[in-house]
Every structure is written in C-alpha cells, then in structure tokens.
C-alpha cells in the first residue's frame, strides 16, 4: 500500500533534496578542483581564478615530475607493508581487548577500564615516548610505526560496545559445547561483527595511510620512508625551488601543479578502498556507537 504524502511533506522533501544536493556539491567540489588542477597546464593554472570545472590545457607534466622521484615506488611499498601488517595486528589486539572488557564476569573490570580511559586524556608526552622507542630498539625500524600503535582506546571502546550487543545466549551455548574464549571470539563474535570490523579497518587504515609525523621522527634511512614522508619531501623541495629558482613564475607555476598532483597521488588509493567498505560503514558506526 502506497502512503500518500501531504502537501507539506512534499515541500519538506523537496527542500531536503535541495539542501542535501548543495551539501554534496560543497563537499565534492574541492576534490574535483584538485583533480582538474593536477591535469592542467601550469601556466594556465596560475592565471586562472575562480571555479575550475575542467583541465586547462590537459597536461600530465605534474604527475611525470612526481613519479620521476625514484623513492615514490619504494614509499608505496613501505606504506603497504606498514598498512597491511599494521591493520591486521591492530584488529587482532583491539578485538582481544574489546572482548575482554565486554565480558560481564571480569574481575576489576571498571578500575582497569578507567586506567585505559586515562590514557585518552593524559600521556607521558612525545619525548618520553621517543625515548621508550629508543630503549626498545625501534628507532629506524618500520616496526616502530606498527607495534606502539596497535590499540586505539577510542576504537577499542567502539568495538567493546558492539560486542556487548551480541546476545549472551550465543556465548553461553558455545561454552556448554566446550568452546574456549578464543573459539568464541574468532568463530562466533567476530563473524557476527563484520560491519564494525569493516569500520575498524577503515579507521586504522586511514590513520596509517595518512601518518607521517612519527615516520619522519623515528626513521633515519630514506629507504624505509613511507609514501607520505616522500610526498612531503617533494612538496618542500618544490617550494624551495619555486622560491629560489631562476625560472621565476614558471617555477612557481610548476610547483603549484605538483602540489595538486601530490595530493591526488596520496588520496586516490585510499578512496578506492572506501566503496568496498561503504555498505558496512553506516551500520557499523551505529552498532558501535549505540548500546542496545
């Protein structure tokens, strides 16, 4: 049976569509502008002001200069290693902690949870953290970007809330059949938590992909640099060349195009991952944010 909308409801729906369409355009246009600018001719781009709806003199010069850097492919390889290994370990450790705190019969559960929550507001600081990594021999090692960041308190709380929403009858039945905690977690809890686990993959993946500060702080060997540090070097070196180069305006124009190309190189790979997780994302966020 089709429900007929009143005149007021139709007006409300139309206004909603107009507002949401405007918001979509506002959100998408900056990305479109960057993409079109990265494919534009440098000199034409510098003389352009206002909206950019298509490339100005289609040109791949900026991308050629970015990929001419021999460290780009090495940076991609390092980032993929840190991303894949880091996300796997992050999910395992976060799931173990979330499962522990989702159980009702844990001794000292509240005091332990308060200690963990304390770390969200206070920490030892950057220098003590660096000295700790040094004592653990993780300086100039990719493991220094993986092991110390294996659990996010915020993500663990979201995952714990999701685990708590799973009926106790399922775990109790598994215990009666002789299942241990690891069996319950990996064969019952996690298969029922695909949506929230997809959200965790996205959260941890984006964080690792965009991370550059600690990589630039603890890594000494350029062969170990992840992509974001390499791209940062490209941006800085091009800015310096633009300021000191003899080409004047031409150097500045090329540097501007390279900035846009660098943004696209850093952003496009992670954008391709999102569509595969999008169908789980909304559901997973709601499950983890609202306790049933």
Sequence ranges of the domains in the chain: 61-289
Those residues whose C-beta lies under 8 Å from the C-beta of residue 227, and which sit 6 or more positions away, are: 72, 75, 76, 78, 79, 265, 266
Selection from 266, 62, 288, 69 nearest residue 197 by Cα: 288
Q: What is the model's pLDDT at position 204?
A: 92
Q: Are 209 and 120 spatial neighbours (Cβ–Cβ below 8 Å)?
A: no
Q: What is the model's pLDDT at position 73?
A: 84
CATH class assigned to 61-289: mainly alpha
State how far the alpha carbon of 199 is from the alpha carbons of 49, 157, 272, 288, 291, in Å.
39, 13, 15, 9, 16
Please report how the helices 109-121 and 153-164 are oriented relative to each other, as an axis angle in degrees rounded to 10.
Answer: 140
Q: What is the model's pLDDT at position 243?
A: 64
Q: Which residues of the chain have a pLDDT value below 70?
A: 1-3, 238-253, 277-292
């Amino acid at each position: 049976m089709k429900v007929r909308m009143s005149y007021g409801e139709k007006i409300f729906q139309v206004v909603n569509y107009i507002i949401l369409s405007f918001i979509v355009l506002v959100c998408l246009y900056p990305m479109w502008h960057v993409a079109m600018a990265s494919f534009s001719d440098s000199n034409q781009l510098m003389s352009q002001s206002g909206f950019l709806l298509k490339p100005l003199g289609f040109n791949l010069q900026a991308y050629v200069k970015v990929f001419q850097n021999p460290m780009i492919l090495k940076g991609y390889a390092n980032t993929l290693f840190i991303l894949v290994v880091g996300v796997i370990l992050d999910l395992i450790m976060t799931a173990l902690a979330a499962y522990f705190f989702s159980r009702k019969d844990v001794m000292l559960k509240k005091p332990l949870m308060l200690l963990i929550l304390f770390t969200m507001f206070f920490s030892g600081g950057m220098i003590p953290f660096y000295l700790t990594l040094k004592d653990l021999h993780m300086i100039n090692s990719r493991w220094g970007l993986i092991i110390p960041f294996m659990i996010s308190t915020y993500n663990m709380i979201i995952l714990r809330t999701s685990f708590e929403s799973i009926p106790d009858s399922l775990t109790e039945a598994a215990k009666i059949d002789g299942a241990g905690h690891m069996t319950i977690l990996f064969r019952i809890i996690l298969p029922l938590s695909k949506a929230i686990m997809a959200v965790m993959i996205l959260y941890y993946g984006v964080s690792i992909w965009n991370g550059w500060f600690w990589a630039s702080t603890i890594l000494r060997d350029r062969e170990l640099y992840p992509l974001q540090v390499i791209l940062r070097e490209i941006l800085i070196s091009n800015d310096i060349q633009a300021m000191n180069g003899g080409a004047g305006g031409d150097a500045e124009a090329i540097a501007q195009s390279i900035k846009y190309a660098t943004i696209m190189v850093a952003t496009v790979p992670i954008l391709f991952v999102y569509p595969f997780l999008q169908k789980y994302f909304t559901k997973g966020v709601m499950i983890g944010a609202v306790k049933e």
